[in-house]
Structure 1
């Protein structure tokens, strides 16, 4: 066969890489859910083999579905951008119309992603009405965060020109927006993944603590990398060491936040009645 008829090494590498990514991502997703169930002392139903097969199948399907939705989102955004000149030429407010269309498409896709996450998880009895309410709320929060970040970046020059400490104010606003979004993501994970019904008031304390420690750790590791101490001490292996350190720290912080969530829920949250019963027994 000619070289053009033979599959290239790059194609095989891409296929193997995608399969490895999907399997690894589904494994991580399953391990996170299992860890949260252990913290909440939840026993899964069914045999160990059936649980393993079901969890891996659901996790793999979820990762694949989310990847497809994100790909559709990117294609839709690219198509809208490509039609920008045509829309601007045909409509008097083309730029505004384009921005509204892009925001609507992004919002619908985000809501669909969150709805898929809520509904596909095993051992759930949620109705689609409840699923879409939560999905729309989280999608709206994420969309508002993205719009706020874009607006802050666009107003950067104006803020710097009008305020004596414009750069500092801009950095603080951007940090607050990022922190709120990160806390909301952790709160959603703590509420959704465990096979136990929780209320939003149970998860916010743990989510805020986790987001704060996560942000602090990210800054410290970034400073450590920037100090060049890694390269001086470990040479070429320094990059791998940083990745392992960040993965270990992130896992510890995540599980610590989950423990805080459980303790707060039992002591002061929706499960405080159960704590009173246990202490009175």
Structure 2
């Protein structure tokens, strides 16, 4: 009972912190970047896993997984993205530039996700110089390679399970089919959890233990699978293509990334609250510092700016007061002259 109360308390704290950090805008931003990063990301992943299993087999597996998530139309659109973005030029210079842009595009979404994770952990980079930007891109590329590695592991395990199930299917076909589905589900659970744990561990500029990240990663995976089922049910009961027409595939991809980011951010917030509850020693790495220092600098700069603005306003107000006094004096002088003229006319009469 105590564990349940503690877990519920952490959930509530994570929700309030999640809502305060405005996940809606950040998720929309990352979804926008992901739309452009997706072709490059998938090409690298397909190339890594395809080296061992063949690119067509890997591409088919990815297409099937995406089809399960957001429907066959969107999966077909992504498959066309991969085909159109493939590096097929015979020119060495074109291949070099193409590969550079491929890396830049594939790391863009993780680059933005890293900034969001830093915001959740309340840390900020000390210096955004070229060296640090390159390091951030390398870390983001590492996440891309992790995705490829996890996909490769998934394919290896699935192949082994299929071979085992085929060998014993004759004895208990129904049991074998059921066990295969259960094992595939558990494998997907482990792989997705490992991916989320890697995101929580490596992307933010904080020193964090794997043990701390895995509980938040498990919660994120459960929420992700629940959301996957709900959105699959929604797609099954409705026809998004009738609403968005030809843009339905793009909209569904954005929606898929959007709700995934919302869930990832909540899992990261839960990880923060869990670390606080366990009194874990979490500190920025050598490239970052607590965000409060940067906020204090900004507040000091804002204070100086407000002082300058007040001085300008006071100067303008002083000029206005002088002008009003001068206008008042001129009007009084005009009235006095008019009165003198009136008195002179009356004396003449």
Distance change in 2, residues 1:197/1:149 (3 Å): same
Alpha-carbon distance, 1:226 to partner: 4.6
* CA distance in 2 between partners of 1:158 and 1:41 (Å): 53
Does residue 162 of structure 1 match 2:158? no
| Residue number in structure 2 paired with 1:27 | 108
Alpha-carbon distance, 1:17 to partner: 6.6
| Residue number in structure 1 paired with 2:227 | 217
Alpha-carbon distance, 1:171 to partner: 0.8
1:189 to 192, 199, 213: 199
Alpha-carbon distance, 1:245 to partner: 0.5
Does residue 247 of structure 1 match 2:247? no
1:205 to 201, 215, 234: 215
What do residues 189-213 of structure 1 show as CA deviations (whole Å, max 9, x unaligned)?
A: 2112221111122111110011122
| Residue number in structure 2 paired with 1:153 | 162
Contact 2:192 2:221 (C-alpha < 8 Å) held by counterparts? yes
Distance change in 2, residues 1:65/1:193 (3 Å): closer
Aligned residue pairs total: 190
Contact 2:118 2:204 (C-alpha < 8 Å) held by counterparts? yes
Distance change in 2, residues 1:195/1:62 (3 Å): closer
Contact 1:26 1:59 (C-alpha < 8 Å) held by counterparts? no
| Residue number in structure 2 paired with 1:231 | 241
| Residue number in structure 1 paired with 2:270 | 260
- Counterpart secondary structure, 2:125: coil
Greater RCO structure (CA 8 Å; 6+ sep) = 2
- Counterpart secondary structure, 1:43: strand
Does residue 57 of structure 1 match 2:134? yes
List aligned pairs for 1:109-148, cutoff 5 A: 146-148=155-157
TM-score normalised to the size of structure 2?
0.46
Contact 2:139 2:203 (C-alpha < 8 Å) held by counterparts? no
Distance change in 2, residues 1:221/1:153 (3 Å): farther
- Indicate the RMSD between aligned Cα atoms, in angstroms: 3.5
* CA distance in 2 between partners of 1:32 and 1:143 (Å): 23
Alpha-carbon distance, 1:40 to partner: 1.0
- Counterpart secondary structure, 2:190: helix
- Counterpart secondary structure, 1:194: coil
What do residues 2-32 of structure 1 show as CA deviations (whole Å, max 9, x unaligned)?
A: xxxxxxxx84998887555433333222212
Consecutive unaligned residues in structure 2, runs of 5 or more: 1-87, 283-349
Alpha-carbon distance, 1:258 to partner: 0.5
TM-score normalised to the size of structure 1?
0.56
Alpha-carbon distance, 1:159 to partner: 4.7
* CA distance in 1 between partners of 2:276 and 2:123 (Å): 15
What do residues 231-278 of structure 1 show as CA deviations (whole Å, max 9, x unaligned)?
A: 233322211111110010111111111101111111025249xxxxxx
Contact 1:26 1:60 (C-alpha < 8 Å) held by counterparts? yes
Distance change in 2, residues 1:14/1:253 (3 Å): farther
Alpha-carbon distance, 1:41 to partner: 1.0
Alpha-carbon distance, 1:61 to partner: 4.5
**Larger Cα-atom Rg:** 2
* CA distance in 2 between partners of 1:176 and 1:261 (Å): 22
Contact 2:224 2:260 (C-alpha < 8 Å) held by counterparts? yes
* CA distance in 2 between partners of 1:235 and 1:15 (Å): 37
Consecutive unaligned residues in structure 1, runs of 5 or more: 1-9, 68-112, 115-138, 273-281
* CA distance in 2 between partners of 1:179 and 1:155 (Å): 20
* CA distance in 1 between partners of 2:153 and 2:199 (Å): 19
* CA distance in 1 between partners of 2:123 and 2:234 (Å): 39
